[in-house]
Structure 1
Amino acid sequence: MASRVRDRIDTGPRFTQGDAIRLNNLFRGNDTQEMLAAVIADRLVGDAAIVSSFGAESAVLLHLVTRIAPDMPVLFLDTGKHFPETLAYRDQLVERLGLNLVNLTPDAEELAARDENGLRWSYDPDGCCELRKVKPLARAVAGLDATFTGRKGFQSSSRTGLPRFEIDTSDAEGRLKVNPLANWAKPELDAYFADHALPRHPLEADGYPSIGCAPCTSKVRPGEDPRAGRWRGWEKVECGIHIPAKPGEEPAF
């Protein structure tokens, strides 16, 4: 499959829905570490990078992948709106894990033209995310075949049934998304943190189980989905770099 990835780059999609289905079936029943070791060693997903928010549970994905591929780029969307605690946590994990960090920033001219006062998040959160997240990431992944994400199925109703392998629906290039933690539950994540003595995000204990940009992240109340505090009050569940499948389009794995 790896050679087919390179052959397809100039002639069509890198991956198809059929490829995602085959990968999900191939690693059905394998634990996460076994799956990652095989995928990375055999280059089954081609050239890849990790996309990390350095949020509440990001250390697990970063530790899992970089133990196998220490030099894999870690793409961080430095939006200019993060909590100071997130930036400090990023720096802590970079030093602790020896990460190959790549900070992605918005285009300065476009930001000045479309969000001069920095308040677009307050009246057009989709537009703010497009400027500060979607476009910078699209530029960064243009030459990649796949990205590793830290999404998990339990985080919200829009992520229920999340597969390990899926096609990135945000572009037409057939880029693959690998979600190693798709079927992990909160107790498994907590155990991994404890087993490997990984530091926790400082805001997690203060009621933030999902942490994005500061203006659009609030504390989560008991009984709510972990991502309920993201864009509270808006009909918005994702920033745009991850687009949920539409009803009837969910992969049959």
Structure 2
Amino acid sequence: MISADVDDTLAYLRALERRGGNGRDVMAEALTGTLAGRLAVVSSFGAESAVLLALVAEIAPATPVLFLETRKHFPETLAYRDGLAAYLGLTDVRDVAPAPAELRRRDPGGELWQFDPDACCALRKVEPLEQVLLPFDGWITGRKRFQAATRARLPFVEAETGRLKLNPLADWDAVAVRQEFERRQLPRHPLVAAGYRSIGCAVCTRAVGVGEDSRAGRWSGSAKVECGIHQVPAPA
């Protein structure tokens, strides 16, 4: 059940979007309005993450930034997380890790990803995020419509499981992202130069080829397209 103040903010932000407000406007209103201090950013510190995090740092640098530390990341991602946070002046980056007892019980050999990737994502991403989001009234993502067919109708503002959910970069395309990196002189994730356009856990991510969907390297060879922290809309 969504609370009254979250419901009011949701209605206000949707009205702002209908009047032509862009994603940054919507996010700024959410971060500085009645829900100030009650929202978090969830970031993978991946290929495009710096753009959203730079906008957040401009508006409210003390906003909690939640990083899902799955224990399966590329070392480059962990180094990039620390360096980018310092570069942007983000003051509250939090690692969100799976419970050690659950790892020992459900994935003692660390090989769950090989035969049940959905269960691995549930253990290492979905369940830890559900727990850490409990104190928050909403969260902010860096998802964009151009990234995959499952995101083609992504709105700026959603309500999901009783929380506000913002996608302020939903209407950005690859050109806009590149131009913002250049304009702000943002550091790139080191794996981008090696062909990684969407970066998740090292065991489930590969570089993509020319003409491939930017997320084609995630869970390559399987029907899996999302880790589970985002609900995939039903086909229209």
Return the TM-score normalized by structure 1: 0.87
Secondary structure (helix, strand or coil) at the match of 1:150 reads coil
1:111, distance to aligned residue in structure 2 (A) = 0.5
1:45, distance to aligned residue in structure 2 (A) = 7.5
Secondary structure (helix, strand or coil) at the match of 1:177 reads strand
Instruction: Kindly indicate whether the alpha-carbon contact (under 8 Å) linking 1:21 and 1:165 is maintained by their aligned counterparts in 2.
Output: no
Residue 201 of structure 2 is aligned to residue 210 of structure 1: no
Residue 24 of structure 2 is aligned to residue 27 of structure 1: no
Secondary structure (helix, strand or coil) at the match of 2:94 reads strand
Aligned to 1:51: 42
1:22, distance to aligned residue in structure 2 (A) = 5.6
In structure 2, runs of 5+ residues without a counterpart are: none
1:21, distance to aligned residue in structure 2 (A) = 6.3
Large movers: runs of 4+ above 3 Å: 19-22
- One-letter amino acid matched to 2:228: G
Aligned to 1:8: none
Aligned to 2:4: 4
- One-letter amino acid matched to 2:44: S
Residue 116 of structure 2 is aligned to residue 128 of structure 1: no
- One-letter amino acid matched to 2:227: C
Instruction: Give the % identical residues.
Output: 52
1:180 to 168, 173, 182: 168
Residue 62 of structure 2 is aligned to residue 74 of structure 1: no
- With over 3 angstroms needed to count, the CA separation of the structure-2 counterparts of 1:84 and 1:20, relative to structure 1, is same
Aligned to 1:166: 158
Aligned to 1:11: none
Aligned to 2:211: 223
Aligned to 1:152: 144
- One-letter amino acid matched to 1:197: Q
Aligned to 1:251: none
1:82, distance to aligned residue in structure 2 (A) = 0.3
Question: 1:90-132 deviations in whole A, cap 9, x for unaligned?
Answer: 0111111122111011000010010000000000000000110
Q: What is the rounded CA distance, in whole Å, between the counterparts of 1:211 and 1:58 in structure 2?
A: 10
1:167, distance to aligned residue in structure 2 (A) = 1.8
In structure 1, runs of 5+ residues without a counterpart are: 6-13, 249-253
1:37 to 13, 17, 28: 28
- With over 3 angstroms needed to count, the CA separation of the structure-2 counterparts of 1:37 and 1:22, relative to structure 1, is closer
1:4, distance to aligned residue in structure 2 (A) = 2.9
Instruction: Kindly indicate whether the alpha-carbon contact (under 8 Å) linking 2:17 and 2:26 is maintained by their aligned counterparts in 1.
Output: yes
Instruction: Kindly indicate whether the alpha-carbon contact (under 8 Å) linking 2:38 and 2:136 is maintained by their aligned counterparts in 1.
Output: yes
Instruction: Kindly indicate whether the alpha-carbon contact (under 8 Å) linking 1:165 and 1:179 is maintained by their aligned counterparts in 2.
Output: yes
Secondary structure (helix, strand or coil) at the match of 1:27 reads helix
Aligned to 1:193: 181
Q: What is the rounded CA distance, in whole Å, between the counterparts of 2:103 and 2:110 in structure 1?
A: 8
Instruction: Kindly indicate whether the alpha-carbon contact (under 8 Å) linking 2:22 and 2:168 is maintained by their aligned counterparts in 1.
Output: no
Aligned to 1:119: 111
- One-letter amino acid matched to 1:34: D
Q: What is the rounded CA distance, in whole Å, between the counterparts of 1:238 and 1:82 in structure 2?
A: 16
1:246, distance to aligned residue in structure 2 (A) = 1.3
1:44, distance to aligned residue in structure 2 (A) = 5.2
1:217, distance to aligned residue in structure 2 (A) = 0.4
Residue 111 of structure 2 is aligned to residue 102 of structure 1: no
- One-letter amino acid matched to 1:4: A
